[in-house]
Structure formats: structure tokens, C-alpha cells
Amino acid sequence: MSSREIRLVSRPNGMPTTANFTLAQVELDPLHDQQVLVRNLFMSVDPYMRGRMNEGKSYVPPFELGKPLEGGAVGEVIESRAAGFKPGDAVTSNCGWREYFIASPKELRPVSRGVQPLSVYLGALGMTGMTAWVGLNLVEVKAGDVVFISGAAGAVGNVAGQLSKLRGCRVIGSAGSMEKVMLLREECGFDIAFDYKVGPVVEQLNLEAPDGIDVYFDNVGGETLEAALSTLRVHGRIIACGGISGYNESKPRPGPSNLFNMITKRLTMKGFIVRDWLDRQGEFDEEVGGLLRAGKLKNKETVVRGVGQAVAAFIGLFEGKNVGKMVVKLN
Ligand SMILES: NC(=O)c1ccc[n+]([C@@H]2O[C@H](COP(=O)([O-])OP(=O)(O)OC[C@H]3O[C@@H](n4cnc5c(N)ncnc54)[C@H](OP(=O)(O)O)[C@@H]3O)[C@@H](O)[C@H]2O)c1
């Protein structure tokens, strides 16, 4: 059996280009005992993968040149020589960026086929949905809080906004186009949304939240973090989730010029990495899965087709081409 996979061939300098990647064909070995053959149905592309394309120490090791990339995926079992897995079972794994793969049972997590489309396991019920949920719990977001979310139309942002609304918060979002702003207001229940590209963020935020905000869910960093620091109320909280505005910078940018607000306003800023919270997976599945099944939470996604389009989908994250979770459908 042959499979196609995407490999990193050179480390990007700034914005990644298609020249940094190659599509390779590989032959898979016959299955041994305790192995499962999986066909990926959907794979995830995520902003954090950009960091893994750089050399150097981080919270996850860098991707190796000449090797297939890795990442979240959901697929179906084609053949199994391991107890507990049979053809047709749906499984999630970290073996994305390829069409087929052979895995040991511990690399696979069985999921229900009752949830459709299965790409939901990469979005609202997947790593990004869990990131939104963990972030809100981290600073105990509660009814009455005014919550501002950047990257609001993205995978983490739109779920964070919907969950905040369900908790009884007033929710403000920023995103990079009027189309996204409309979606946030009309389909995701945000009270207010604005396009961060049309004017200084601090001016737009002060206009929309003249009395300040209680919580800032930071997905982008940079100018938006600086604006939030100036708009947060006394004892405000910041969820430090991501900083995509700086991921393609070759040198770190200077931090916010107004960090002194942390002191004068007695702010709290908490960073986290979602995978440190995997012991809460069951609780997340129950709460957020329940909301999804009850129709109270929507899974938003942008679907790109074919492993050959995976690199374009990944680069598209930095160009704002996605609404909700960016996924690649493999066939
Ligand atoms: N801490 C954790 O464990 C954890 C886990 C998952 C994700 N994250 C972080 O959470 C953030 C969101 O991730 P995601 O998976 O949900 O991605 P996403 O928001 O679905 O996709 C990226 C979005 O970022 C926006 N963007 C791109 N360049 C930007 C820039 N220069 N300034 C402002 N916005 C920009 C684009 O939307 P616009 O059109 O609005 O610009 C784009 O659609 C990322 O920073 C990611 O690294 C953290």
C-alpha cells in the first residue's frame, strides 16, 4: 500500500512558502501484531506548527527536516492486528500530514462515529475547542464579565466566544475582515465585533467597551495585547493563549510599551499549554460535547480538500483565510 505525506525540506525564514515543503510517496510495510492501519479522513493545520518549523528549544521539539510533519488528525481503521480496534472504527491521532499510517494502539484515541462530520474532533471537540475551554477556566470567566477575544473568528476564538456567551458574559471579538465580523455577531452570538485592520485597535476597543473589559483572551499578541492592557479594568485578567502576530517574525519584537498597567491595575496574566491539561479531557468531552449535542455550541470550520492542498491551508492561517477551524479533508 502506498501513501502520500508532506515533509519539511527547509526551515522557513519569515512567512513559510511552498518551497519549504515537499509531497512524498511512501510504501507502507505489512502490519505486524499490535499494529493498526489507519486512513486519515481529516488533518489539522495549526499556527503552533510554525514554531516547530524553527530550530531551537521550545515546549515541543522542532520538526525534523526530510521527515513527515506531525499534527492532529482523525481517521478510520482500515486493518487491525490489535485488540480493541476493528475496521471502520474512528480514531484521532497526532499522525496528520499523511494519507495512511501504521500505529500502535497507544498512539490512537477511539472516538464516536456518531459525531459528524468527524472533523469536529479537530475543532470544537478537539485540541482547539479544549484550548478555549481551558483558557476560560484558567481565569475563572463568569457571568457578568466583559470578555474581549482576539483572533475571534478562528478555531480557538470562536469557541471561546460562544462558551463565554453561554456563561453569561458580554463578549467582544476582533477579527480581520467585515465578513468575519458579521459571522461573529450573527452566527456565534458575540455582542460586539470589530475589524482590527480598519483602525488602531485601542481606539476601536475603547469605543466598543467605554467602561473597560474584565478579561482579555489573547490569541494574537502585539498591538492587540497592548490595546487590551490599556482597556482592562482594575483586577482584570489576561488569558495568554497565543501570539500569532509574531510567529513569522525573524527577531522577537519588543513587548507592549504599557506593561506597567499590570502593576497599577493589579492585573493577572496566565499562560498555558493545552496538552498540560489532558487529565481534564473527560470533563471537557462531557461539558463541551453536551453543549454541541444540545445544539448550544456550533462547530465552525473551513475545509480544504486533498493532501496536496495542506501546505496552502497551513500558510492560509497566517493570511486569515480560515473561518473557524482550518481542516484538510483527505481522500
Ligand atoms: N496555548 C495553547 O495551548 C494553544 C493551543 C492552540 C492554539 N493556540 C494559539 O491560539 C491562537 C489561535 O489558534 P487557532 O488554532 O485558533 O488559529 P486560528 O485563529 O483558527 O487561525 C489563525 C488566525 O489568526 C489570525 N491572524 C493571522 N495573522 C494575524 C496577525 N498578524 N494579527 C492578528 N491576527 C492574525 C487570522 O485571522 P484574522 O482574519 O482575524 O486575521 C487567522 O485566521 C494561536 O496564536 C495559537 O498559536 C494556543
Query: Distance, CA 331 to ligand 1 centroid (Å)?
Result: 27
Q: What is the mean pLDDT of residues 201-223?
A: 98
253: pLDDT strictly greater than 90: no
pTM of the shown model: 0.98
Residue 58 has pLDDT above 90, yes or no: no
Whether residue 331 is predicted with pLDDT greater than 90 in this model: the reply is no
- Cα 153 to chain centroid distance, Å, stands at 11
**Which residue carries 492587540 as its cell?**
224
Ligand 1: which residue has its CA nearest to atom 19?
154
Tell me if 202 sits within 8 A of 231, measured CB to CB: yes
Beta bridge partners of 76: 39, 90
Average pLDDT score, the chain: 97
Which ligand 1 atom lies nearest to the CA of residue 242?
A: 45
pLDDT at position 57: 86
Residues touching ligand 1 (Cβ under 6 Å) are: 46-48, 128, 131, 151, 153-157, 175-177, 180, 219-220, 241-245, 272-274, 317-318, 320, 322, 326
Please give the number of the atom of ligand 1 that sits closest to the Cα of 240. 1
Spacing, Cα 107 to ligand 1 middle (Å): 27
User: 150 CA distance to ligand 1 centroid (A)?
Assistant: 8
Q: Residue 59 — very low, low, confident or very high, per pLDDT cuts 50/70/90?
A: confident
Beta strand residue intervals within 179-231, DSSP E: 192-195, 213-218
DSSP letters for 133-187:
HHHHHHTT--TT-EEEESSTTBHHHHHHHHHHHHTT-EEEEEESSHHHHHHHHHT
Cell of 320: 486569515
CA of 239 to the centre of ligand 1 (A): 14
Give the model confidence (pLDDT) of 94-131 as tens digits: 999 999 999 999 999 999 999 999 999 999 999 999 99
DSSP 8-class letter at 192: E
Centre of ligand 1 from the C-alpha of residue 218, in Å? 9
pLDDT score, position 322? 98
Minimum-distance ligand 1 atom for the alpha carbon of 243: 45
> Looking at residue 31, what is its pLDDT?
97
Q: Which atom of ligand 1 is nearest to the CA of 46?
A: 15
